């Protein structure tokens, strides 16, 4: 058994920011991650990070309002205020630590336009902002000498008397199982994209943290809010960043029409993501698509500009769609991209389980509500990563470890042995694929009562199948086969929470668009939906949205 | 279409502890990537096959491996680009120059140790700005070319120096060092460059270009190493055989228009480096016997003047 003051699960932007800030408070900090930190999915963020810098004439309150409107008024306004107020300092800190942001002609940080915002306030590093920021934080972690358990896989959280006191984890390289006690555990495990197929998310985005917290007694909130990004490639689901539209790209239908002009005359291609995705889907459904896609056109920007600012996106087009965007428009479609929902946490990262914190995509501090604005997620990871790191470090100074011993690993060992002894049967790959395609089909851009009922049925079936999948690899070293099978268990729980929340919401709001209930209903549904684990299935409860200064109005772009 | 993969397998828990190749036939399409094929094998055919992969979009750097003998990312390598015409299999091996753990998974510890050895973090001066550092956009765009390195290890896998000398810091770590050394905000150049001038540093590269060829991100590590050499010499570190070699090269060209190959090794190694001088004797004898000895009296080329002019022009620009 090993002891740490603060244990952070996840080494993406949220986890590393938390680690750095906790470490600065002088407590003992360790990070555990199932992939090397720089392989974390934060590196996939292309477009940028939002902040309203006052010395540029911007105002954090404008950023806050754009975010609230983007959220379709489901975001908690107190949390959004915190995020937007602290955004500028976070971006400047990243720059001071070494991030190479693009500049303006005076050598100050430059910005680009992003969707749903009235100001250009997205700071960026070409079109690999996430990677650039992740590498900088990793450099700082190396410098600070924070301990990282690289390629260790967390199997469960240890809960005693309702409090979280550590984790059980497995060394992927050797199969060794270890109990780690921690006075505070911070979940920073990222998203759940693989619950859907296709998805822009990496293969490691399997909702582990949401499921771990759910099993530990925490609440999952806003899980029905799944973002479909307007520009993903057919087949693989690979993302072409909103930066393309931010830099001026057009969306065209089969009649060569810039169709966004009619749906969103003011914001056009840069309306909120849920809006643009719906418009695309409508164009496709009404027969003005091309093979299930619309076209993203950047040709008018010119080769030089594209190479300087969108080179990565151009490469993606060439590699994954056989299209050189300098010469031709590329077919794109709405694709599953981001979970607005997650483990309910407050502005300091605290969850309903004492000792357990959450930050980043795994958390739902409710800054994104029904729809996240592009470039607000990186910001979310940094601001709330920092806050939870600081808060957890402060908290551990006055608490003791819970009494836990190596027997805490019993259940996980049993589960692993069970999986390994399953008889020859279907593999995790088949079950995951059926879950993913089903979830996309029934809980897509548009949904209705009957499709959501089908989703619930699907989840039930998948949960059963996941228990008896066959694990072919019986070794201890790098048994990825076993790991995927455990991840499948995590994913089925996320799928259950998503379907169970979705069917509750009797209106259309943000990303949750019901063809049978097309209107927003502020009177009854300015509410969050919470799911908690029950003996056999789950419990549902509701919570009012926090409104500070901005009353809901009709949303137009 | 049917594609045959021939994949190197290694199970550290087996009794014989040797790797072997295993063939798989996979149904794929024209647009499939090598990674699509490997995932298909892993999910549908043989769950025991282990490899690292994650983003599928050439940004996380997990899936560097050797494809038909050359390092690359499995996720952005298209099947049609690597499938041999004659129907023979696509050969998949783990990345080179790093110990194999299992199947296509290699131990990256040596890679990260070298990464850490170059102190890869910004070391600014004492004066912290109020807000951001002011820096020219050209510098940032230039550095973005290096920062786009995803640390996948393809360059390290195929580095011909690392194959024979694992004390070399290698292309990835040196490109990282360049990134900081060229950053207008970093003020630790003196110490960085002194370190890079040591054995294992910038002078150990043989300029074989392999890293430039295999880099999936166009980082051009070798070019960065060459720029570091310039910086190292500009900082006054002229007392390595590498620096002396470069200086001697330039001196001969400038003065006579061509190389004096007899004196070049003497100037590179230093005349008092007795061991190196003795080491050169067999080569001298061999070239004498083969009739390849350079002339004892080095003469000027007739066009030497023109060459000198070029030098002067370039030097005046510095
Ligand atoms: C293609 C793409 C582009 C995007 N572009 C943008 C953008 O331009 N701007 C923006 O703001 N947002 C963007 N986003 C969203 C944003 O990148 C993510 O939401 C954010 O980076 C998530 O960061 P994180 O720190 O929460 O998690 P991640 O970076 O996903 O990190 C999760 C970490 O948890 C670890 N982990 C998970 N489970 C376990 C376990 N069981 N045991 C041990 N470790 C575990 C992983 O190893 C990893 O280190 C984009 C997302 C995608 C998919």
Cβ contact B72:B79 at 8 Å: no
Residue B230: CB partners within 8 Å, gap ≥ 6? none
* Burial (Cβ within 10 Å: 0-12, 13-18, ≥19) of residue B175: buried
CA of A186 to the centre of ligand 1 (A): 15
- Same domain, yes or no, for B96 and B154? no
Q: B184, B214, B234 — which closes off a domain?
A: B234
For residue B265, tell me if it sits in a domain: yes
In the residue annotation, A314 being an active-site residue is answered as no
- The answer to whether residue A135 neighbours chain B at the CB level (below 8 Å) is yes
Q: What is the extent of the structural domain holding B266? A: 245-317
> What tens digit of pLDDT does each residue of A220-264 get?
999 999 999 999 998 889 999 898 999 999 999 999 999 999 999
Cβ contact B114:B173 at 8 Å: yes
- Is the CB–ligand 1 distance for residue A45 below 6 Å? yes
Comparing B63 with B286, the larger pLDDT belongs to B63
- Same domain, yes or no, for B95 and B157? no
> Quick one: pLDDT at residue A245?
94
- H-assigned helices in A264-351: 273-283, 303-309, 311-321
Task: List phi, psi (to 5°) of B258.
Answer: -150, 170
CA of B2 to the centre of ligand 1 (A): 35
d(Cα A513, Cα A11) in Å, to the nearest integer? 33
- Same domain, yes or no, for B174 and B216? yes
In chain B, which residues have their Cβ closer than 8 Å to the Cβ of A128?
59, 147-148
CB A43 to CB B105 under 8 A?
no
pLDDT grade, residue B242 (50/70/90)? Answer: confident
> What tens digit of pLDDT does each residue of B66-97 get?
999 999 999 999 999 999 999 999 999 999 99
Question: Which CATH number fits the domain that encloses residue B113?
Answer: 1.10.1060.10
pLDDT grade, residue B190 (50/70/90)? Answer: confident
Residue A485 has pLDDT above 80, yes or no: yes
CA of B268 to the centre of ligand 1 (A): 51
Range 367-406 of A in CB contact (< 8 A) with B: none
For residue B41, tell me if it sits in a domain: yes
CA quadruple A353, A359, A360, A366: dihedral sign = positive
Cβ contact A309:A241 at 8 Å: no
Q: What residues pair up with A153 in beta bridges, in sequence order?
A: A170
- Nearest CB partner across the interface for B120, out of A44, A109, A142: A142
User: Ligand 1 pocket: which of A18, A37, A38, A40 to mutate (most atoms <8 Å of CB)?
Assistant: A40
CA of A189 to the centre of ligand 1 (A): 7
> Quick one: pLDDT at residue B294?
86
- The answer to whether residue A132 neighbours chain B at the CB level (below 8 Å) is yes
For residue B54, tell me if it sits in a domain: yes
> Quick one: pLDDT at residue B128?
85
Residue A309 has pLDDT above 80, yes or no: yes
> What tens digit of pLDDT does each residue of B12-38 get?
999 888 999 999 999 999 889 999 999
> What tens digit of pLDDT does each residue of A29-38 get?
999 999 999 9
Q: What is the mean pLDDT of chain A?
A: 96
Cβ contact B187:B123 at 8 Å: yes
Residue B275 has pLDDT above 90, yes or no: no
Closest-lying ligand 1 atom to the alpha carbon of residue A377:
11
Cis peptide before A198 (omega within 30 of 0): yes
What Rg value do the Cα atoms of chain B yield, rounded? 24
- Same domain, yes or no, for B70 and B144? no
d(Cα B59, Cα B216) in Å, to the nearest integer? 10
SS3 of residue A451 by DSSP: helix
d(Cα A309, Cα A289) in Å, to the nearest integer? 28
For residue B240, tell me if it sits in a domain: no
Task: List phi, psi (to 5°) of A357.
Answer: -115, 160
A460-473 average pLDDT score: 96
- Same domain, yes or no, for B259 and B215? no
- Same domain, yes or no, for B94 and B125? no
- H-assigned helices in chain B: 34-40, 79-82, 109-117, 137-147, 154-158, 160-164, 170-181, 189-196, 210-214, 221-234, 241-256, 263-269, 274-289, 304-317
For residue B211, tell me if it sits in a domain: yes
B120 Cα distance to chain centroid: 17
In chain B, which residues have their Cβ closer than 8 Å to the Cβ of A125?
144, 147
Query: Which uninterrupted H or E stretch holds A226?
Result: strand A226-232
Q: How many structural domains is chain B composed of?
A: 3
Q: B185, B209, B234 — which closes off a domain?
A: B234
In chain A, which residues have their Cβ closer than 8 Å to the Cβ of B147?
100, 125, 128, 132, 135
> Quick one: pLDDT at residue B209?
97
> Quick one: pLDDT at residue B279?
86
SS3 of residue A7 by DSSP: strand
B195-216 average pLDDT score: 96
> What tens digit of pLDDT does each residue of A79-136 get?
999 999 999 999 999 999 999 999 999 999 999 888 899 999 999 998 899 999 999 9
Task: List phi, psi (to 5°) of A59.
Answer: -135, 130
For residue B17, tell me if it sits in a domain: yes
Comparing B296 with A299, the larger pLDDT belongs to A299
- Same domain, yes or no, for B88 and B199? no
- Same domain, yes or no, for B41 and B119? no
Domains of chain A: 232-334 (3.90.700.10), 407-527 (1.20.58.100)
Q: Give me the count of residues in chain B.
A: 318
**If you write DSSP's letter for every residue of A80-100 in order, what string do you get?**
HHHHHHHHHHHHHHHHHHT--
d(Cα A141, Cα A23) in Å, to the nearest integer? 9
d(Cα A133, Cα A46) in Å, to the nearest integer? 11
d(Cα A69, Cα A66) in Å, to the nearest integer? 5
CA quadruple B173, B175, B179, B182: dihedral sign = positive
Query: What percent of chain B clears pLDDT 70, i.e. is strictly above it?
Result: 100
SS3 of residue B58 by DSSP: coil
CB A38 to CB B42 under 8 A?
no
**If you write DSSP's letter for every residue of A363-415 in order, what string do you get?**
EE-SSSTTSPPTTSHHHHHHHHHHHHHHHHHHHHTT-------GGGGHHHHHH
In chain B, which residues have their Cβ closer than 8 Å to the Cβ of A55?
131
- Same domain, yes or no, for B308 and B219? no
Residue nearest to atom 27 of ligand 1 (CA): A190
ipTM rounded to 2 decimals: 0.95
* Burial (Cβ within 10 Å: 0-12, 13-18, ≥19) of residue A497: buried
d(Cα A460, Cα A20) in Å, to the nearest integer? 41
Least-confidence region, from A331-335, A424-428, A433-437, A487-491: A424-428
- Same domain, yes or no, for B51 and B113? no
For residue B297, tell me if it sits in a domain: yes
Q: What is the mean pLDDT of chain B?
A: 93
Count of CB atoms situated within 10 Å of the CB of B27: 11
d(Cα A339, Cα A352) in Å, to the nearest integer? 20
In chain A, which residues have their Cβ closer than 8 Å to the Cβ of B148?
126, 128, 131, 312
Residue B248 has pLDDT above 70, yes or no: yes
pLDDT grade, residue A55 (50/70/90)? Answer: confident
A445-470 average pLDDT score: 97
- Same domain, yes or no, for B113 and B227? yes
- H-assigned helices in A145-272: 208-215, 243-246, 260-263
- Same domain, yes or no, for B226 and B120? yes
B236-252 average pLDDT score: 89
Residue nearest to atom 33 of ligand 1 (CA): A10
Cβ contact A392:A349 at 8 Å: yes
CB B121 to CB A98 under 8 A?
yes
- The answer to whether residue A146 neighbours chain B at the CB level (below 8 Å) is no
Q: A512: closest CA among A443, A440, A453?
A: A443
Output the CA–CA distances (angstroms, integers) from residue B142 to A148, A303, A375, A453, B145, in the order listed.
Answer: 31, 18, 24, 53, 6
CB A475 to CB B48 under 8 A?
yes
Q: B62, B82, B106 — which closes off a domain?
A: B106
Least-confidence region, from A176-185, A511-520, A528-537, B285-294: B285-294
- Is the CB–ligand 1 distance for residue A375 below 6 Å? yes
pLDDT grade, residue A509 (50/70/90)? Answer: very high
- Is the CB–ligand 1 distance for residue A201 below 6 Å? yes
Residue B222 has pLDDT above 80, yes or no: yes
Output the CA–CA distances (angstroms, integers) from residue B151 to A83, B98, B174, B215, in the order listed.
Answer: 31, 14, 12, 10
For residue B255, tell me if it sits in a domain: yes
d(Cα B162, Cα B174) in Å, to the nearest integer? 13
Least-confidence region, from A19-23, A49-53, B256-260: B256-260
Residue nearest to atom 53 of ligand 1 (CA): A201
Task: List phi, psi (to 5°) of B60.
Answer: -90, -20
Residue A319 has pLDDT above 90, yes or no: no
SS3 of residue B169 by DSSP: coil
Residue B297 has pLDDT above 90, yes or no: no
Catalytic residue among A121, A273, A505, A555: A273
Q: What is the pTM of this model?
A: 0.95
Cβ contact A199:A190 at 8 Å: no
- Is the CB–ligand 1 distance for residue A9 below 6 Å? yes
pLDDT grade, residue B318 (50/70/90)? Answer: low
> What tens digit of pLDDT does each residue of B118-141 get?
999 999 988 888 899 999 989 998
Longest dimension (CA), chain B: 72
CA quadruple A289, A290, A296, A299: dihedral sign = negative
Strands A122-123, A177-187: pairing is: unpaired
Residue B294: CB partners within 8 Å, gap ≥ 6? B260, B261, B262, B287
d(Cα A56, Cα A88) in Å, to the nearest integer? 11
d(Cα B54, Cα A201) in Å, to the nearest integer? 9
Residue A354 has pLDDT above 90, yes or no: yes
């Amino acid at each position: 058994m090993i002891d740490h003051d603060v244990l952070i699960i996840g080494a993406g932007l949220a986890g590393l920011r938390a680690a750095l800030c906790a470490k600065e408070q002088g407590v003992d900090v360790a990070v555990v991650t199932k992939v090397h930190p720089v392989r974390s999915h934060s590196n996939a963020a292309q477009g940028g990070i939002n902040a309203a810098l006052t010395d540029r004439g911007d105002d954090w309150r404008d950023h806050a309002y754009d975010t609230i409107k983007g959220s379709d008024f489901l975001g908690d306004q107190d949390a959004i205020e915190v995020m937007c107020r602290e955004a500028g300092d976070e971006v400047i800190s990243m720059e001071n630590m070494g991030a190479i942001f693009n500049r303006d002609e005076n050598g100050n940080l430059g910005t680009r336009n992003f969707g749903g915002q009235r100001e250009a306030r997205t700071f960026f590093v070409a079109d690999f902002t996430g990677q650039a920021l992740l590498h900088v934080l990793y450099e700082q972690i190396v410098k600070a000498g924070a301990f990282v358990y690289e390629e260790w896989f967390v199997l469960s959280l240890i809960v005693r008397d309702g409090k979280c006191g550590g984790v059980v984890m497995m060394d992927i390289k050797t199969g060794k199982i270890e109990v780690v006690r921690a006075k505070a555990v911070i979940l920073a495990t990222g998203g759940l994209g693989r619950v859907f197929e296709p998805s822009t998310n990496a293969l490691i985005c399997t909702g582990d943290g949401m499921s771990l917290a759910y099993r530990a007694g925490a609440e999952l909130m806003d899980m029905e809010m799944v973002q479909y990004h307007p520009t993903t490639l057919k087949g693989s689901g690979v993302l072409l960043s909103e930066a393309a539209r931010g830099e001026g790209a057009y969306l065209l239908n089969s009649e060569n029409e810039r169709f966004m002009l009619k749906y969103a005359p003011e914001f056009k291609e840069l309306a909120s993501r849920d809006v643009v995705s719906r418009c695309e889907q409508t164009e496709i459904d009404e027969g003005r698509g091309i093979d299930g896609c619309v076209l993203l056109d950047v040709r008018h920007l010119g080769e030089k500009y594209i190479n300087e600012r969108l080179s990565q996106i151009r490469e993606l087009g060439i590699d994954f769609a056989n299209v050189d965007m300098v010469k031709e428009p590329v077919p794109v479609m709405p694709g599953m991209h981001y979970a607005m929902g997650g483990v309910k946490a407050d502005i300091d990262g605290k969850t309903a389980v004492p000792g357990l914190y959450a930050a980043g995509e795994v958390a739902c501090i409710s800054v994104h509500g029904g729809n996240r604005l592009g470039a607000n997620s990186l910001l979310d990871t940094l601001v709330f990563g920092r806050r939870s790191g600081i808060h957890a470090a402060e908290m551990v100074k006055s608490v003791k470890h819970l009494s836990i011993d190596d027997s805490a690993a019993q259940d996980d060992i049993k589960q692993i042995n069970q999986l390994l002894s399953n008889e020859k049967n279907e593999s995790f790959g088949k079950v995951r694929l059926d879950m993913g395609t089903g979830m996309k089909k029934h809980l897509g851009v548009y949904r209705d009562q009957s499709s959501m009922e089908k989703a619930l049925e699907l989840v039930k079936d998948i949960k059963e199948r996941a228990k008896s999948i066959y694990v072919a690899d019986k070794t201890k070293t790098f048994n990825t086969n076993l790991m995927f099978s455990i991840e499948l268990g995590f994913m089925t729980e996320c799928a259950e929470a998503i379907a169970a929340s979705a069917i509750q919401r009797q209106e259309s709001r943000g990303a949750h668009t019901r063809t049978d209930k097309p209107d927003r209903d502020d009177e009854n549904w300015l509410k969050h939906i919470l799911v908690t684990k029950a003996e056999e299935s789950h419990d549902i409860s509701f919570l009012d949205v926090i409104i500070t200064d901005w009353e809901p109005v009709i949303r137009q772009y | 279409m049917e594609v045959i993969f021939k994949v190197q397998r290694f199970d550290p828990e087996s009794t014989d502890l040797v790797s072997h190749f295993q063939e798989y036939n996979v149904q794929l399409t024209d647009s499939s990537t090598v990674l699509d094929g490997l995932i298909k094998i892993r999910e549908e055919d043989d769950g025991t096959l282990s490899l690292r992969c994650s983003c599928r979009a050439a940004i996380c750097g997990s899936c560097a491996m050797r494809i038909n003998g050359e390092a690359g990312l499995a996720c952005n390598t298209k099947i049609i680009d690597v499938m041999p015409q004659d129907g023979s299999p696509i050969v998949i091996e783990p990345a080179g120059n790093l110990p194999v753990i299992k199947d296509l998974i290699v131990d990256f510890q040596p890679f990260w140790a070298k990464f850490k050895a170059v102190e890869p973090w910004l070391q600014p001066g004492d004066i912290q700005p109020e807000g951001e550092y002011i820096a020219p956009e050209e510098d940032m765009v230039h550095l973005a070319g290096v920062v786009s390195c995803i640390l996948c290890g393809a360059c390290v896998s195929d580095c011909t120096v690392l194959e024979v000398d694992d004390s070399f810091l290698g292309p990835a770590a040196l490109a990282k060092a360049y990134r900081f050394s060229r950053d207008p905000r970093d003020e630790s150049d003196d110490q960085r460059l002194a370190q890079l001038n040591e054995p294992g540093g910038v002078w150990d590269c043989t300029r074989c270009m392999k890293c430039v060829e295999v880099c999936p991100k166009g980082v051009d590590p070798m070019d960065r190493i060459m720029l570091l050499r310039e910086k190292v010499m500009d900082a006054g570190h002229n007392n390595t055989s590498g620096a002396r070699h470069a200086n001697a090269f330039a001196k001969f060209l400038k003065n006579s228009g061509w190389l004096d190959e007899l004196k070049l090794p003497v100037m590179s190694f230093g005349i008092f480096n007795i061991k190196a001088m003795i080491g050169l004797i067999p080569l001298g004898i061999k070239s004498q016997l083969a009739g390849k000895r350079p002339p004892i009296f080095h003469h000027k080329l007739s066009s030497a003047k023109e060459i000198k002019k070029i030098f002067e022009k370039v030097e005046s620009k510095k």
